[in-house]
Structure 1
Amino acid sequence: MTKKALLFINGTPPESFPDLQLYDVICCTDGAFHYLNDLNFPLDQLTFVSGDFDAGTDLIRNVKGQEGFSFEIIETPDQDKTDFQKALEILAERGVHHVDVLGGSGGEMDHFLGNLHVAQLFSHLLNITFYDAYGRYFFAEKHVVLNDVNGKIISLYPFPVAENIKTTGLKWPLNQETLEVTTRIGTRNEASENCVSITFSAGNLIVFVGK
């Protein structure tokens, strides 16, 4: 059985929550717990809260104790890794295959870039998709098909290079072309059809799909 997780991290809080019934595991980092509590998220749905708890543990332990919630508190003190990275390690160890991430963008931009770096490290183990107020983004497999996207902004961003990219269904198609962050990127394209196909032969490619 393919296991799917919803992970909240400490970027910009989401404007709404997805259907929680779609997930086998629901978790957050310690920093994200604070905004979930403020947004009246159903904390009884949490599987675990993890992190180095530099954001403080009093709120988390008090809420758990007062309400009798059963979520785990997992302390991950390793300062050589981010809380996001350590949460992904826990999910991978628990047999999760797909991770939807909320709170991955916004705030300080070095955190955002760091989150992309971490996602790339795990791209061979986990299928990670970030969601924010503007759309979704993910590291693409060598062949990806996007459905129901006609008229949406589609951006292709090499990380740092993606070779021999071929697309169909985009307003400005690529035909066996290479994108490299220091020379040419593929942002702000647009889907001209309802189905977009993207293939590439080597490297890493982030695909952004607008709402």
Structure 2
Amino acid sequence: MSSHHIVRDDQEPALIIANGASCNPELLGQLLEWSPLVIVLDAAMERVMKLDIKVDVLLGDFDRNFDANYYKEKQYPIEIVHTPDQNKTDLEKAFDYLHKRNIPAVNVVWATGRRTDHTITNLTNIVRYREKLKIVILDDYSKVFLLPKKFEKWYTANTPISLIPIGHVTGIQSENLFYPLQNDSLTIGYRTGSSNHVIKDGIVLVQHEQGDLLMMECTD
């Protein structure tokens, strides 16, 4: 595993390593290679260090016999950010940290799997940062991000795509999806746009009028 980063430009997406299920080492290595800043949540730090990854920022509430000097020695230089606020998850605190540093985008790994409550919280809480950060959550099977009101992207035919509403989403229009949406509404728990796919190579268009809509680019 690469322990350093090539890019040192705050306009490149940062990388947050949370404490869910590990992803494929190849995916993690690709993200590390292009990340100017690597943030690790405190509960994952020991797992990350075993992979010989150089960490730039260690962040969390440090409520488990935390020894700052140990990490300062093992990961020098490292910034240690104590965030004791119990009203937010450590992942949200990492998002706040990036926003304060004016870093516009972040990739997140190890944020899904293991505890289901953490997975659901991590995926849904990104809507709170719509105006602050471009957030992409990745694992071995999915790439998840919040859609703007109008979204266009080129995809290959048969790419699996799911459109998952956070709450209630109205006025949804799509082009080049096998199950078309024409001024439709989706509501979590009642009707979602799960397991759709791209018809042909080309642009997929998704528009919606109101609400928060997650795009999930999936692989089996």
Deviation track 1:6-43 (CA, whole Å, cap 9, x = no partner) reads: 111111112121243422321111112222112x2421
- CA 1:200–1:111: 2 relative to 1, 3 Å: same
Q: Is the 8 A contact 2:21 2:112 kept in 1?
A: yes
Q: Which of 204, 210, 214 lines up with 1:202 in the alignment?
A: 210
Tell me the equivalent position of 1:42. 53
Deviation track 1:126-148 (CA, whole Å, cap 9, x = no partner) reads: 11000001020111111112323
* Amino acid in structure 2 at the alignment position of 1:37: M
Alpha-carbon separation, structure 1, partners of 2:79 and 2:46: 16
Range 8-17 or range 82-91, more displaced: 8-17
Range 131-140 or range 144-153, more displaced: 144-153
Alpha-carbon separation, structure 1, partners of 2:11 and 2:215: 23
Tell me the equivalent position of 2:172. 165
Q: What is the root-mean-square deviation of aligned Cα atoms in Å?
A: 1.8
Tell me the equivalent position of 2:76. 69
Alpha-carbon separation, structure 1, partners of 2:140 and 2:96: 26
* Amino acid in structure 2 at the alignment position of 1:128: I
Q: Which of 125, 144, 147 lines up with 1:140 in the alignment?
A: 147
Tell me the equivalent position of 2:43. 31
- CA 1:28–1:110: 2 relative to 1, 3 Å: same
**Quick check: 1:84 aligned with 2:66?**
no
Alpha-carbon separation, structure 1, partners of 2:171 and 2:156: 23
- Aligned-pair distance for 1:68? 5.5
Q: Which of 119, 126, 129 lines up with 2:136 in the alignment?
A: 129
Tell me the equivalent position of 2:20. 11
Tell me the equivalent position of 2:106. 99
Alpha-carbon separation, structure 1, partners of 2:16 and 2:64: 17
* Amino acid in structure 2 at the alignment position of 1:174: L
- Aligned-pair distance for 1:105? 0.5
Structure 1 runs of 4+ aligned residues shifted over 3 Å read none
Alpha-carbon separation, structure 2, partners of 1:175 and 1:169: 12
Residues 47-66 of structure 1: pairs in structure 2 closer than 5 A = 47-58=56-67, 61-65=69-73
Alpha-carbon separation, structure 2, partners of 1:198 and 1:51: 36
Q: Is the 8 A contact 1:153 1:210 kept in 2?
A: yes
Q: Secondary structure, in 3 states, of the residue corresponding to 2:104?
A: strand
Q: Is the 8 A contact 1:163 1:200 kept in 2?
A: yes
- What is the aligned residue count? 206
State TM-score, norm by structure 1.
0.90
Q: Percent identity?
A: 26
Unaligned runs of 5+ in 1: none
Q: Which of 183, 188, 191 lines up with 1:184 in the alignment?
A: 191
Alpha-carbon separation, structure 1, partners of 2:128 and 2:215: 16
Q: Is the 8 A contact 1:52 1:76 kept in 2?
A: yes
State TM-score, norm by structure 2.
0.87
* Amino acid in structure 2 at the alignment position of 1:184: R
Alpha-carbon separation, structure 1, partners of 2:91 and 2:75: 26
